[in-house]
Amino acid sequence: MDTTAIQRALVALGYSLAVDGMMGPKTRIAVQTFQRGAGLAADGIVGTLTVAALQSAASKRGAGQPATKGQHLPADWMPAARMKRIVVHWTAGAHRASGLDRRHYHILIEGDGKLVRGIPSIDLNDAREVKPGYAAHTLSCNTGSIGVSLCCMAGAVESPFNAGEAPMTRSQWEALPRVLADLCRRYGISVTPRTVLSHAEVQGTLGIKQKGKWDISRLAFDQTVRGAQACGDLFRAGTASLLAT
Ligand SMILES: [Zn+2]
C-alpha cells in the first residue's frame, strides 16, 4: 500500500486528512489513532498488520467509499435540549443492555456495537433544569450531561487489571466516536477535555468528586493504553476527526 492508498483508506474510515501522498503529521496521527483502535502497536508505521487491518476496515465500510456525514443515532433519540457535555461510561454489566442499564444512561453501545436507547430521554437532563426521571449517570454532574455507556466490564477489577466476564470489545469502542460526533453536532458541543470526557475524568478535570470511578481508564483489547486521559484523548481524537470530515 503506498501513502496515497493509505490516506484514501483512512479518509474512507472517517479520518480527516488530505490525500497528498505525503506522510505528514496529520496522516501519522490518523495512522496511530487507527492502530490503537485496531489493537495494534501505535507506532505510526504502516506494516503488514496495519495494512491488513486498514484493508479489512475499509472493505467493511463498503468498497472504500468515503464515510458519509451520515447520522448514526435516530433523530428522535436527540430531542431539542440545552446540553453542555457528554460523559462516557461503561455499565460494569454484560454485553447486552439490561433494564437497569437502560435506566441510567441515554445511549448504550452493546458488545457488538449495536446502539440502544436508554429509558430517560436526553432532554430530561437539560442544562436549564433537570426533570423527573432524568438519567442519573454521574454523581452531582447530571445537569446538562448526556450519559453514553458501553455495555461491558461486569466483574472487572482495576488493579491488578482484570477485564472480567464481559471485556470491552473493539466494536463498541469503535462505535463510540460515531455516537459522540452525532451528539456533538446535534447539541453544539465542542470536543474538549471538559465537554467530552469519561466518568473517570470527571473528578480530575471538572473537580466534581466521584466515588473511585475508573470507567474508562483501560481498554480490554489494548492493554498498552492506560489511564483515563489516554483513553479520553483517543475517543476525543476519533470524534474530532469525524466532525472535521
Ligand atoms: Zn460511570
Shared domain check, 197 and 143? yes
C-alpha 235/C-alpha 197 separation (Å) is 9
Rounded to the nearest angstrom, the distance between the alpha carbon of 15 and the centre of ligand 1 is 28
Give a yes or no: residue 126 inside a domain.
yes
Shared domain check, 121 and 46? no
Shared domain check, 196 and 130? yes
Rounded to the nearest angstrom, the distance between the alpha carbon of 82 and the centre of ligand 1 is 22
Shared domain check, 53 and 157? no
Shared domain check, 190 and 130? yes
Shared domain check, 221 and 193? yes
Rounded to the nearest angstrom, the distance between the alpha carbon of 199 and the centre of ligand 1 is 5
**Spacing of C-alpha 115 from chain mean position:** 12
Rounded to the nearest angstrom, the distance between the alpha carbon of 215 and the centre of ligand 1 is 6
Beta strands at 218-219 and 222-226: parallel, antiparallel or unpaired: antiparallel
Rounded to the nearest angstrom, the distance between the alpha carbon of 163 and the centre of ligand 1 is 16
Rounded to the nearest angstrom, the distance between the alpha carbon of 56 and the centre of ligand 1 is 32
Query: In a 3-state reduction of DSSP, which class is residue 139?
Result: coil
Number of domains comprising the chain:
2
CATH assignment of the domain containing 26: 1.10.101.10
* pLDDT bucket at 14, cuts 50 / 70 / 90: low
CA-to-CA dists, residue 92 to 101, 154, 157, angstroms: 9, 4, 10
Shared domain check, 138 and 44? no
C-alpha 17/C-alpha 11 separation (Å) is 7
Rounded to the nearest angstrom, the distance between the alpha carbon of 150 and the centre of ligand 1 is 10
Shared domain check, 55 and 79? no
* Residue ranges making up the domain that contains 183: 75-244
Model confidence at 41: pLDDT above 50: yes
Closest to 179 in 3D by CA, of 98, 114, 83, 101: 114
Shared domain check, 82 and 41? no
Q: How many other β-carbons are positioned within 10 Å of the β-carbon of residue 142?
A: 18
Confidence (pTM): 0.74
**Spacing of C-alpha 223 from chain mean position:** 17
Q: How many other β-carbons are positioned within 10 Å of the β-carbon of residue 96?
A: 15
Contact predicate 183/148, CB 8 Å: yes
Give a yes or no: residue 66 inside a domain.
no
- Long-range Cβ pairs for the range 162-165 (8 Å, 24+): 163/218, 163/220, 165/94
Rounded to the nearest angstrom, the distance between the alpha carbon of 148 and the centre of ligand 1 is 9
Rounded to the nearest angstrom, the distance between the alpha carbon of 239 and the centre of ligand 1 is 19
Shared domain check, 155 and 51? no
Rounded to the nearest angstrom, the distance between the alpha carbon of 35 and the centre of ligand 1 is 26
* pLDDT bucket at 64, cuts 50 / 70 / 90: very low
pLDDT digits (tens, 9 = 90+) for 202-235: 999 999 999 999 999 999 999 999 999 999 999 9
Rounded to the nearest angstrom, the distance between the alpha carbon of 77 and the centre of ligand 1 is 21
